[in-house]
Structure 1
Amino acid sequence: MSNAPTVSVVIPCHDAAGTLALQLAALSRQDAAPDFEIVVVDNRSRDGLAAVVQRWAAELPRLRLVSAPRLPGAAYARNVGIGASTGERLLFCDADDVVARDWVREGAAVLEQVAVVNGDDVTLPFAAFTCLDSVWDGHLDRRPRGELERISEPVPYPILLGGNFASRRETLLSVGGFDAAMIDANEDNDLAVRLQRSGALIHRSHAMLIAQRSRAGAKASFRRAFRAGRGHVALAATHDLRRDSPSLSRGTWRLDPLRASGAAAKMATRPRDQRDWPAVATRLGAGLGLWLGEVDRWRGRSQEPAIGAGIEEGQT
């Protein structure tokens, strides 16, 4: 289609009805943005996500809802979004974050200079996300915008921010897209490794800014860190990155669960208003996740890759 937008925003969603509306509000009020579409990918939601999208259809005529029920996970959902999108410049964000008022403009513009770029972020408490203006006026608008941080050579351990990055379509497709077998975590860094090895360096735009929610509570922090730690071991093994891994290279990670237990004991002696249990839970979860990841590796447990799964489905 000759009038199809050249910029696509892809938002993977699973039970995101409670947060998506604020993100769509931010995308509906973008400053000086090029013509763009929004592809919301519904990955097995059960919470009325479709109704939220429908309510925003009049405000965002380029908004589309695409179903991705076959596999769980953000990697598969993003692949479906890649297939369903029309733009040659692809921007990725998450349903529970809020993009800055110039996010689309900055993301689209930077892809004229480089092929892949991470954005920047500020973490805010849940209470800050009461309305769009409180996030923009109170936080994102006050954040200084920096220049594009170019990377001139490959880095030992490349990172991709799955919830805030932009890429040219041809660059993503050249490495096959995301590995949909990576359900819990590290699907973005797996893509980062493959992109870098293909010659596509990952740069950083400090002007492509989002606000993200801090993780709510110790349990959620523990689960997230545990999954990331376990998946990190598998990622390092798959791509022979163990010596370059910031978590595994020194071997001190083996004592992290004990250190986290000691930190918890000290935390308990502090006044209640000075206790940071999510931080302790994150440290403990990461350490235990690394341990279980090592057990998986010793037992020879691995998963078959599913690179690109979902892209063809999105095209239908």
Structure 2
Amino acid sequence: MSTAAQGTLRPMPELVSVVIPARDAALVLPGQLEALSRQEYPGAWEVVVADNGSADGTADAAREWRPELPELRVVDAFARKGINHARNVGAAAARGDFLVFCDADDAATPGWLRAMAQASRTADLVGGYPEYFAVHNRQACSWRRPQPRDRLPEMMGYLPYAVGATLGVRTEVLRALGGFNEGYAGGGDDVEFCWRAQLASYALVFAPDAVMRYRVREQLWQAARQAYGYGRADPRLMRDFRAHGLPPASTRSALRAWYRIARRLPEAISPERSGSWWHGAAWRAGRLVGSVRHRVRCL
């Protein structure tokens, strides 16, 4: 049950643990750690980097930031590949009573941690706002549907969720839920956790001022591969949550979507529109494959 009483404010966390799952992130992790070193949060906090089997010196790259982030630790999450395994290992090593998860390749804005901690006074889970950015190919930001600016996103006509790149949860709540589901990888990992938490009567709130600069995939094949993973996870979510009220996917809507993709086929080679076409087509292809694998209809 939710630990947040209706209409009451709890004390600020005694210690916030920022957990960063990372694999082969030596080139991008310093950017996130630099951003964290500029946080305006006045309370006590630490950083835990969970190295998920890196072969590029990610752990060494993290340790170089100890002068700026003295409460930084690196933990070994080599046992199993997957972002949720790394999150669970990092959470187990964390000392804080409030856990905040972010990704290695993003960049927290200065007020991010403060806003996440403040929002934790009103709920069990907190979701910040992922603001898309690209380093070289700014057009890549348009390939994905923008996140809503006034609320948490929803999926499949069901419950809201916090994007894993800016997700906070009370430590006691994470433990009560048994952590993140390590069977999810490459998509649906954050959605499954947030849905499961809400079904267990834990409260999830949006922290609009907790802005995380979310780095999008800038190469077309990378963006398509990511979208395919997202689509492939949707049928698994359908399988796991349909008994809990997740509405069935509409086959008619799916057929209309595939028809639109076919009609827009010339956009696949358009310099201006190829990104959004491939993103949408890859996501739908992932749904087809996931539907076969998990034996559900989620086209």
Instruction: Calculate the TM-score normalised by the size of structure 2.
Output: 0.83
1:298 to 289, 295, 298: 295
In the alignment, the residues of structure 2 paired with residue 123 and residue 72 of structure 1 have an alpha-carbon distance, to the nearest angstrom, of: 26
Corresponding position of 1:111: 120
Correspondence 1:217 to 2:213: no
In the TM superposition, 1:1-316 aligns within 5 A as 6-127=15-136, 156-240=158-242, 244=246, 248-249=249-250, 251-266=252-267, 268=269, 272=271, 275-298=272-295
The Cα RMSD (Å) is 2.6
Higher relative contact order (CA 8 A, sep 6+): 1
1:298: how far off?
3.0
Counterpart amino acid of residue 74 in structure 1: I
Deviation at 1:276, TM superposition (A): 2.5
What amino acid is aligned across from residue 178 of structure 1 in structure 2?
F
Answer yes or no: is the 8 Å Cα contact 1:217–1:277 preserved in 2.
Answer: no
How many angstroms does 1:9 deviate by? 0.2
Task: Work out the percentage of aligned pairs sharing the same amino acid.
Answer: 29
The 1:187–1:32 alpha-carbon spacing in structure 2 relative to 1, beyond 3 Å, is: closer
- Structure 1 portions without partners, runs of 5+: 130-145, 301-316
> What is the deviation of 1:54?
2.0
Match of 2:145 in 1: none
Q: Is the 8 A contact 2:128 2:162 kept in 1?
A: no
What SS class does the counterpart of residue 77 from structure 1 fall into? Answer: helix
Match of 1:308 in 2: none
Contact 2:15–2:98 (CA under 8 A) maintained in structure 1? yes
Q: Which amino acid aligns with 2:263?
A: G
CA-to-partner distance for each residue in 1:89-133, whole Å, 9 max, x for gaps? 11111001000101111111111121111100211122399xxxx
How far is the alpha carbon of 1:261 from its aligned partner? 3.4
Report Cα offsets for 1:114-159 as digits up to 9, x if no partner: 1111100211122399xxxxxxxxxxxxxxxx99x69xxxx83332
- Could you tell me which residue of structure 1 aligns to residue 144 of structure 2? none
- Distance of 1:109 and 1:36 partners within structure 2: 13
Alpha-carbon distance in structure 1 between the residues aligned to 2:42 and 2:274: 41
Distance 1:55 1:277, change over 3 A: same
SS, match of residue 127 in structure 1: coil
Does the 8 Å contact 1:160/1:191 carry over to 2?
no
Cα distance between partner residues in 2 of 1:241 and 1:262: 35
Cα pair 2:134 2:215 within 8 Å, conserved: yes
State the Cα distance separating 1:182 from its structure 2 match: 1.1
